[in-house]
Structure 1
Amino acid sequence: MRCQACGDATSPEHHECQRCYTPHGQPAITPGLPTYSVRGIGLAARIAVGATAVLYLVVALGPLVGLVMSRQARADNDPDLLIGAVVIEALLALPMVAAYLTAAVLVIIWTWRARKNTDAFPGALPTLGAGWAIAGWLVPFANLVVPARVVAGVARDSLWRRFTPDLVSVWWSAWLVFSIGERVVSRLDSRAYDRLPETPSTDGGYQAYTDYYLGSLLRNAVPAVACVIAAVALIVLIQRISAAQEARIARALPAWPTAPVWPTARA
């Protein structure tokens, strides 16, 4: 006898599957409850998350442009080059912001669908309602904990585990370091930039810009590394959860009968 939820072999010694913990005799999907496809939205979310991480790395390395241009400005005594460095950094940030917003929307939609699917999984034990898959990201202070709890519950109920996968902890820890660290770095950079001479005319003034860009580059290191770790962990989570849910939903679909084969007339 095999479990209808995960397809694993079951034993009459236990009243539930030892892999997915679905009670024996329960269908893969509770009849009458809706399920949602997560394959397409999951793929789109993974692409957007990956693109955001790559573009953020470009932004984090943006001070290299300012570093080179500040040294050239010092050599040529041309302060206009410093304005060009600011413009280039702003242009580098625009694609990253667009990718970030796109990824945020796609991840929220995917999380809501994945969470709604667990309502139809016999044996699942969700602790938060599906609405928190959206509200959890938007409510201040709650957004420091709730999204991780929602994804942790979805991961447990989709990957057939009684404990939260370590990958959820890695993802959320890295995300918090990135999210908080990026804001701190942005404020530090803003304060440091305000202390720079508006129009440098001496070697010391140009050197101040060079030191600023070098410091900014070093400050960006921590959130940049955290961003990559969070992105990779989330991409893997989305892929694994989506594959598990799609496989379970497919097992619940009725097999269409094949067309009858009529005997051919013999000559």
Structure 2
Amino acid sequence: MPTYGVRGLAVAGASAVGAATLCYLLTALFPLVGVRMARSAAEQLDRDVLLGAVLAEVLFSLPYLLALLTAGTLVVIWTWRARKNLDAFPGAVPNLSPAWAIAGWLVPLANLVVPARVLADLLRNSVWQRRQSWLVGVWWASWLVFLIGDRFVARAEQQRYDRLTELPRNDAEFATYVRFYEDALAPRLVPAVACLVAGIAFVVLVRRISAAQQDRLSRAVPVWPGQPVWPGRPGWPAPAAPMPVAPTSPQVPPTPGGTIGA
């Protein structure tokens, strides 16, 4: 069975997930910056400062979106490769096909359940330690809290922002922007903490699964048929008695990534 190296991809994916998590935390804490800018605008009665706060938040969000896109691409590729490796591991009994390693992240509603099942498959059939399965539960629960909480908070903020005066002219109208940023911080902390927990748990899972698979790949020795024997040829030495070997999985010509003798 063809196999795939996952160590380098795991490092890249874990780094991208860590970067996306850090960038999201910075965007979640932006109200600390926004409230200062809103107070400065209220003191000066300067609407341009409020516009600067909006632009600053957009600039804070761009690195997060870039890191999220990069992390998502690397994670999908890593998940598929790790799942394909299970097909070459004797004794591995995954519950989902390799196609779900990709579709599970992309199909709406299914992406709330399938990725957790795929990761549970990878952990169970790679690490072989059931006591670590709680990590999947921690990641899945915190990931759901992050997804749902982030959308809920974003929608609620947008509704409150739409009620603000578009062109504030006096102290009272500028003060509404100050209160907007003051009230925005607390709700953002819930998805921010969930994102942090999910990011850490996922990085740990990726590293443990990849280390276990890479160790198994490095210890595997390909099993190939011996040289042909031509019985009856004059002078041909009698073949040595074959050494007993364990049953092997069907072999195919060498491909990039190698094969595993089951």
- Give the TM-score band, short-chain normalised: 0.7 to 0.9
- Partner Cα distance (2:176, 2:135) in 1: 42
Task: Trace 1:134-145 onto structure 2 (pairs within 5 A).
Answer: 134-145=102-113
- Partner Cα distance (1:192, 1:253) in 2: 63
Q: Select which of 69, 81, 85 maps to 2:49.
A: 81
- Which residue of the partner structure matches residue 55 of structure 1? 23
Corresponding position: 1:124 with 2:92: yes
- Which residue of the partner structure matches residue 39 of structure 2? 71
Task: Trace 1:90-169 onto structure 2 (pairs within 5 A).
Answer: 90-162=58-130, 165-169=133-137
Given the superposition, is the C-alpha separation of residues 90 and 59 from structure 1 closer, same or farther in structure 2, using an over 3 Å criterion?
Answer: same
| TM-score normalised by L of structure 2 | 0.83
Where does the alignment leave 5 or more consecutive residues of structure 2 unmatched?
224-262
- Partner Cα distance (1:91, 1:139) in 2: 29
Task: Trace 1:192-203 onto structure 2 (pairs within 5 A).
Answer: 192-203=160-171
Is 1:156–1:163's contact at 8 Å kept on the other side of the alignment?
A: no
Is 1:38–1:246's contact at 8 Å kept on the other side of the alignment?
A: yes
Task: Trace 1:186-225 onto structure 2 (pairs within 5 A).
Answer: 186-225=154-193
Please tell me the residue identity of whatever aligns with 2:18. Answer: G
- Partner Cα distance (1:59, 1:195) in 2: 22
Number of aligned residue pairs: 223
Superposition deviation, residue 180 in structure 1: 1.0
Q: Deviations over 1:20-60 (max 9, x none)?
A: xxxxxxxxxxxxx1110000100000000000011101111
- Partner Cα distance (1:212, 1:118) in 2: 51
Please tell me the residue identity of whatever aligns with 1:155. Answer: L
Task: Trace 1:250-261 onto structure 2 (pairs within 5 A).
Answer: 250-253=218-221
Q: Select which of 159, 174, 183 maps to 2:151.
A: 183
Superposition deviation, residue 244 in structure 1: 0.4
Q: Select which of 229, 232, 236 maps to 2:200.
A: 232
Alignment RMSD (CA, Å)? 1.3
Please tell me the residue identity of whatever aligns with 2:54. Answer: V
- Partner Cα distance (1:154, 1:148) in 2: 10
Superposition deviation, residue 162 in structure 1: 4.7
- Partner Cα distance (2:156, 2:63) in 1: 23
Superposition deviation, residue 163 in structure 1: 6.5
Superposition deviation, residue 254 in structure 1: 5.6
